[in-house]
Amino acid sequence: MYTILVVDDSPMIVDVFVTMLERGGYRPITAYSGEECLQTLQTTAPDLVLLDIMMEPMDGWETLENIKKNPETKNIPVLMLTAKPLTPEEANAYGAYIEDYILKPTTHHQLYDAIEHVLARRHSIAADVERARDAGVDQRIIDEYERLSKSVDINKRLLKILETTYSIKDAKAGMGENITRAIKSMATSIKLQEERLQQIREQFSGVFEETS
């Protein structure tokens, strides 16, 4: 049973997600502020954190930064769960730190799918990394593969959210030039990352064939 830490400064919202998670077969634990979240992580290592953004005095982004700069907690996956629309600036600043970005309100199935996707991706990447390490692949290539595998997946997800958010928001007024430029830049970056990731996968395949 996976343990999920729910972090939100609204007790009502925490209760809603606790109920949803229990129905899904997860073991929820709770924190009602960023500070309490960090305190909880000092003694408990959940399989995943559901972290709200709009909290006070420490918001979700600051909480996320504290989680990721701590060597003891940096590898815990964090899924942002919020009613706040994502901005291109946030996608660029925090995309490397998060596993997904779920907009509230969300359904049971959307929440479960997001959690299972995050956990399955981590297991899949870990299996590939172990196999590559056993086959003698250079550690620098393995590290790059691990980083890109997650980065491409989450950034494609964030790009889709941005495209949907701003195409609806600015359908009449026209999308702002800065936002348009930021979204195009992100799409180009993802394409380059995908090309490099494919090169590494082909390299892995060649090594696996030689050692099989």
Higher model confidence: residue 24 or residue 180? 24
Say yes or no: 119 and 199 in one domain: yes
d(CA 61, CA 52): 9
For residue 99, being part of any structural domain is answered with: no
- Owning domain of residue 141: 107-212
Q: What is the pLDDT of residue 172?
A: 46
d(CA 179, CA 148): 24
pLDDT band at 171 (very low <50, low <70, confident <90, very high): very low
pLDDT band at 108 (very low <50, low <70, confident <90, very high): very high
Query: 3-state SS of the chain: helix, strand, coil percent to 5?
Result: 65, 10, 25
CB 99 within 8 Å of CB 74 = no
Give the pTM: 0.89
d(CA 153, CA 121): 9
For residue 97, being part of any structural domain is answered with: no
In this prediction, residues 138-166 reach a mean pLDDT of 93
Say yes or no: 113 and 211 in one domain: yes
Higher model confidence: residue 179 or residue 31? 31
d(CA 45, CA 68): 13
